[in-house]
Amino acid sequence: MKTNFIKTVGKIALILVPAITLSMNASAHDPKMHAKKAEKADCSKMDHSKMDMKDPVAVAMMKKCMKQSKSSMEKMDHSKMKEMDHSKMKEMDHSKMKEMDHSKMKEMDHSKMKGMDHSKMEKKKNKKANSDDHQNH
Amino acid sequence: MKALKILLILLLLGGASAATVMYSGIVNVAADEPHSDIVYWLLEETREASIKKSAQHIKVPDLESPELLLMGGADYEYMCSSCHLKPGLEESDMSIGLYPQPPNLSISHETHQHGTDEELARKNFWVIKHGIKASGMPAWGKTHSDERIWAMVAFIKRLPTLTPEQYQVLTAID
């Protein structure tokens, strides 16, 4: 009686074990395909020179990429940034600067200036040359 | 009186035959067993005529706005692309397994098959909104506004012209 039971269980196991193993391996596709990730726009491949800015597709792509870069800038944590090492910075090449157009500058709003501490200012020796002497204020 | 009796008998016989076919289980409903040509033609013609009639009075808005493409692109990627495919994806489990096979919207179809651009837009709007019985096409109108559905229609209009790179940018999440 007991041997018959063991034989039956053995037969069932002989059929079930390979069947289960085979069915687990029989996947029709890569399961990763089901995992839909929220992808960010890959704007690096955009060729602006070939874009027709009258085409709604091109305009939409530009809008998407601009919005994405703006939001990624806003997400930057400036507090965690290391202090900038100015000593490693190259000197500015003033020769390449365009001449400043002073005519386009706005007039200074003196009312918003904080009170200046005149005591810390160096006095110039030639008072005549300095027409804006604060002592005359 | 005799004619009425014959008609009644015929009706009973017809009903009994239909019931026998229905409950015997001889009709194969498997999706991997296609309809016969005549059944397929009957179903397709019925479907096309129904959609054309139902969609004929729908007013098509301007579909050229870039904002519509962005709105419709994200929805298309998450709601439609697994069945109706996208640039760079020629087949999927759904496109292979569904019957009737969902149309590949990433390739251009001859416009004379579907009428003018406006007729095609109307048809697409109606199908997205109401779905199609026993085809796997859901009625997205139950959960999505008309505005979002028109955005999908606008995106589908431009879809066959998109490269995989353009598609990726337009459908990405912000």
**Residues of the domain holding B12:** 1-30
Instruction: Provide DSSP, B57-91.
Output: TPPP-----HHHHHHHHHHHHHHTHHHH-BTTB--
On whether both B17 and B48 belong to a single domain, the answer is: no
On whether both B76 and B159 belong to a single domain, the answer is: yes
On whether both B4 and B62 belong to a single domain, the answer is: no
A35 touches chain B (CB under 8 A): no
What is the amino acid identity at position B141?
G
3 state DSSP class of A74: helix
On whether both B7 and B65 belong to a single domain, the answer is: no
On whether both B107 and B150 belong to a single domain, the answer is: yes
Top mean pLDDT of A6-15, A57-66, A89-98, B110-119 is at A57-66
On whether both B53 and B123 belong to a single domain, the answer is: yes
Q: Which of A38, A56, A68 sits opposite B65 (nearest CB)?
A: A56
Q: What's the CA gap between B112 and B119, in Å, rounded?
A: 11
% residues pLDDT > 70 (chain A): 33
Q: Which residues of A touch B97 (CB under 8 A)?
A: none
Pure H helices in B25-163: 37-55, 66-79, 81-84, 93-97, 111-114, 117-130, 146-158
On whether both B50 and B104 belong to a single domain, the answer is: yes
- Quick one: pLDDT at residue A77? 60
Q: What's the CA gap between B159 and B63, in Å, rounded?
A: 13
On whether both B20 and B69 belong to a single domain, the answer is: no
On whether both B22 and B104 belong to a single domain, the answer is: no
Mean pLDDT on A71-84: 64
Rounded to a whole number, what is the distance in angstroms from the first to the last CA of chain B?
75
- Quick one: pLDDT at residue B38? 97
Do the Cβ atoms of A40 and B70 come within 8 Å? Answer: no
Where chain B has pLDDT below 50, the residues are none
Scored b (16 or more CB within 10 A) or e, A6-35 reads eeeeeeeeeeeeeeeeeeeeeeeeeeeeee
Examine the pLDDT at A22 and tell me if it is beyond 70. Answer: no
Report the CATH number that the domain containing residue B77 is assigned in CATH: 1.10.760.10
On whether both B128 and B79 belong to a single domain, the answer is: yes
- Quick one: pLDDT at residue A129? 43
A118 Ramachandran zone, left/alpha/beta (phi>0; psi -120 to 50)? alpha
Tokens representing A57?
């597709």
A10 vs A84, residue with greater confidence:
A10
Q: What is the number of domains present in chain B?
A: 2
Mean pLDDT on A13-26: 61
pLDDT in tens, A35-46: 566 678 898 877
On whether both B64 and B86 belong to a single domain, the answer is: yes
Residue with tokens 């229905």: B22
Q: Which residues of B touch A56 (CB under 8 A)?
A: 64-66, 69, 158
Over its C-alpha atoms, chain A yields an Rg (Å, rounded) of: 38
Across chain A, mean pLDDT equals 64
- Quick one: pLDDT at residue A126? 46
Examine the pLDDT at A82 and tell me if it is beyond 90. Answer: no
- Quick one: pLDDT at residue B136? 94
On whether both B54 and B136 belong to a single domain, the answer is: yes
pLDDT in tens, B55-77: 999 999 999 999 999 999 999 99
Nearest-CA residue of chain B relative to A59?
B66
Examine the pLDDT at A135 and tell me if it is beyond 50. Answer: no
- Stated pTM of the model: 0.67
- Quick one: pLDDT at residue A127? 44
